[in-house]
Structure 1
């Protein structure tokens, strides 16, 4: 590590000198352009050609389809490249693309927002992402992902109360939409790590918020996964043709509603920087754990058939796991509130 003193040039301009060895290694000379990348409290200097090369590398990537022998491998590679923010993907074979690879590419492109096929030959498919990050503020996407999970849970539990299996089936279908939102959010936050200009465009106050958004998106996507599992368990339950006690179904629905309220408050506390809402979410989550135990005892009291108990247990466990993510989001809301001084918490005077 080298230190440099800040020098004053003219009336107001502050400058520092660049290390000679660093300049020589990069073949820089007077008049060359360099880029300054702000990363939290640090400032990174990148030479112009290096920045351009970095951008070029992220523009276009070649995927060798012949090396994708295992089922699902090509799909995961496409999703991974999409999440990493790459603009153009070329899926290519040395001979002819196999039909299963073509189908995999088409299926995957439909799951990723903004990604489409722009060129196709017998041996090559070119995919391009047309997203403009400025049109996708992160808070709006997070709300969308939250609403998908909440809707899925509500539909699944309403299916228990009404016996309408179509509601549970609708909930399962929404899982693909939740995955699409999750991958889009990941793409945007990872792109913001590379391009400082995106931080403000996406509605973030600083790069410090990037890790939090990644965790929140993962938690909300897991909530949708649990909602899908609950919906599938409900279908299994309805297939048994068992008469579900109205009182038990009501308590189950009330528990699900309490979870939705808890992680709705956690998310509200996060987006509005309201730590009281976040604190309420934590207290509600703790109360949900006790209600779950009471509901489990009631289930064992009313039913003794394993064909009924197992799917009911899956539903209850899924609801409780969803409440744990509310706690996680509420903690992030506290951390975000404390990132900047406030009347509640500020630097102590000397």
Structure 2
């Protein structure tokens, strides 16, 4: 505890100076607003945001056994993303339905740091055990990048192995992993926007850089989602839809390898502030997104097998969408590097 003397300011105000260490840790600058919360008659709480994290970190929801399970999942994930540390669901007409408990327990497995602390007929309570600074933000985004590029590299295998349940299971597992990393990344980013000290500890220069990180994480997660959806569709195909053209497979692999390279360079550039990505690469991605030509389209036009045609059309749309999202990542990274100049 530290004791400080109150000083008279003007006719009706009283001022107390702030501890230098606290000012430095929270990056307080002269002229900035601070927020005072009255706890009781003898206690004031001073914060850098207009909310008290201790209050916001506890969420409690009253539901019915008839409440749709998907609504519970949205509430749970939403509170996780905004930084809640304790979340409790109370069922007013206990017990919970089996479907509700099933989706809640399944969702917990996708929220890094959340563990179930109590589960009864009328209460389901979880708590967070992971500090936002337990690992560098770059580590989390780097893991998401690694998962994304691994999934993108599996696209040619999807085309070559339609109907493969084993391949679908691998991609589905990677998709779940990407969701976990995305949720954790967004949680940390949103918490840093309302906590200046956390913003500094994570190495961000300002809110603009946080927003950029959010856009990159979302783009990576969307790429994973689209590949997972394509894998689900391809699983329903059989050997009749197999594409055997070796030149087509070689061209597709070359295009996929190049896209992965551009994704790596862009995300690394976001952290380093120097994106070695030529304008021609962005134009290439733009052309890929809007392309009305190419080997896939030529093969589609000349293919008599309707199953193969349908699958190739899906892959063409997938590659165009991956190209669009890669361009978004590249532009965010380049804007961030320009802002640092």
Shorter-chain-normalised TM-score: which range? Answer: 0.7 to 0.9
Q: What secondary structure is seen at the aligned counterpart in 2 of 1:127?
A: strand
What CA distance in whole angstroms lies between the structure 2 residues aligned with 1:40 and 1:234? 56
Shift in alpha-carbon separation, 1:32–1:297, aligned structure 2, 3 A: closer
Shift in alpha-carbon separation, 1:304–1:338, aligned structure 2, 3 A: same
**Corresponding residue number in structure 1 for 2:52:** 54
Q: Note the aligned Cα RMSD (angstroms).
A: 3.1
- 1:30 CA displacement: 5.1
Shift in alpha-carbon separation, 1:285–1:241, aligned structure 2, 3 A: closer
Q: Are the equivalent residues in 1 in contact too, given 2:64–2:94 (CA < 8 A)?
A: no
What CA distance in whole angstroms lies between the structure 1 residues aligned with 2:11 and 2:298? 72
**Corresponding residue number in structure 2 for 1:129:** 128
**Corresponding residue number in structure 1 for 2:41:** none
What CA distance in whole angstroms lies between the structure 1 residues aligned with 2:222 and 2:182? 10
- 1:212 CA displacement: 0.8
**Corresponding residue number in structure 2 for 1:7:** none
* Cα offsets for 1:249-304 (capped at 9, x unmatched): 22222222222122222222222222333646414424545877212332224412
Q: Are 1:240 and 2:229 matched, yes or no?
A: no
Q: Are the equivalent residues in 2 in contact too, given 1:153–1:171 (CA < 8 A)?
A: no
**Corresponding residue number in structure 2 for 1:76:** 74
Q: Which has the higher contact order (CA 8 A, sep 6+)?
A: 2
Provide TM-score, normalisation by structure 2.
0.82
* Cα offsets for 1:83-104 (capped at 9, x unmatched): 0001100111224231222222
What CA distance in whole angstroms lies between the structure 2 residues aligned with 1:201 and 1:238? 52
Q: What secondary structure is seen at the aligned counterpart in 1 of 2:92?
A: coil
What CA distance in whole angstroms lies between the structure 2 residues aligned with 1:232 and 1:153? 15
* Cα offsets for 1:199-222 (capped at 9, x unmatched): 122232333311111111111111
- 1:331 CA displacement: 1.3
- 1:160 CA displacement: 2.8
What CA distance in whole angstroms lies between the structure 2 residues aligned with 1:122 and 1:60? 21
Shift in alpha-carbon separation, 1:71–1:123, aligned structure 2, 3 A: closer
> Structure 1: which 5+ residue stretches go unaligned?
1-14, 24-28, 342-350
- 1:106 CA displacement: 0.8
Provide TM-score, normalisation by structure 1.
0.80
Q: Are the equivalent residues in 2 in contact too, given 1:282–1:330 (CA < 8 A)?
A: yes
Q: Are 1:44 and 2:43 matched, yes or no?
A: no
Q: What secondary structure is seen at the aligned counterpart in 1 of 2:219?
A: helix
> Structure 2: which 5+ residue stretches go unaligned?
1-6, 38-43
How many residues are aligned here? 320
Q: Are the equivalent residues in 1 in contact too, given 2:80–2:187 (CA < 8 A)?
A: yes
Shift in alpha-carbon separation, 1:16–1:279, aligned structure 2, 3 A: farther
Shift in alpha-carbon separation, 1:169–1:40, aligned structure 2, 3 A: farther
Task: Write 1 or 2 for the structure with the bigger share of helix.
Answer: 1
**Corresponding residue number in structure 2 for 1:274:** 274
